Amino acid sequence: MALVIRSGIAGSHATELSQRLIDRHGSLAAVLASSVEALATMPGLGLAKAGALVAAIELARRASLEAIEGRTILDRPQAVRDFLALLLAGRDQEVFVVLFVDSQNRLIRHDEMFRGTLSQTAVYPREIVKRALDLQAAALLLAHNHPSGLAQPSQADLALTQALTQALTPVGISVLDHLIVAGASSYSFAEQGRL
């Protein structure tokens, strides 16, 4: 972070400014999830340095996501959670993501299919079925975030999971899991026996 910031302010080096930024936000993850405007409020940072920091974070995130595509992502449940944390961390509205995989559980593609408000998003099963068929996916993982920070499924989440499973089964595509990501915690429908 100090390399991107490059210089501090009078009496404070870039490394000290970086540490104060982490202390102010509570963690490195919180800094990484912050907006340019939020970061720029730190004395000595400003809009230009905050913009450079956010751009560097986004480049690293995209490079990490690109490195994962085409590889087996289901070798460990934690690998799936880490991947989803990259996709969904710091979002202030609900985002519904679908991970399409082939018969060897290699990621074909991940799509942000729907975006909503702070507490809900409209999901259309027909669009997911169509996209899965277009990509010739053998299976998929569903995921969405809860910006509230609570990784527990609502009744709507339970109903949606059931509706999507029922829509995909007749065309031979299985739903491997539905994960809810909320900050550092997550909830797996498969692990809880709800799939």
For residues 50 and 39, what is the distance between their CA atoms, to the nearest angstrom? 6
Residue with tokens 């490059």: 6
Is the pTM higher than 0.75? The answer reads no
CATH number of 2-65: 1.10.150
For residues 68 and 101, what is the distance between their CA atoms, to the nearest angstrom? 12
Whole-number pLDDT of residue 107: 86
For residues 18 and 24, what is the distance between their CA atoms, to the nearest angstrom? 10
Domain with CATH 3.40.140.10 in the chain: 72-188
Q: How does pLDDT run along the chain (195 residues), one tens digit per residue? A: 777 777 766 666 788 888 888 888 777 767 777 778 888 888 888 888 888 888 887 777 676 666 665 555 556 677 788 778 777 877 778 899 999 999 888 888 889 888 776 556 678 889 999 999 999 999 999 999 998 888 899 999 999 999 999 999 999 999 999 999 987 788 999 999 988
Cβ–Cβ under 8 Å, residues 169 and 140: no
Domain with CATH 1.10.150 in the chain: 2-65
Backbone φ, ψ for residue 179 (5° rounding): -115, 140
Whole-number pLDDT of residue 8: 65
Closest by CA position to 185, among listed 147, 156, 157, 158: 147
Strands (E), 28-106: 95-101
Cβ–Cβ under 8 Å, residues 115 and 94: yes
Whole-number pLDDT of residue 60: 73
Q: Which two tokens stand for residue 66?
A: 């690109």
Whole-number pLDDT of residue 67: 62
CATH number of 72-188: 3.40.140.10
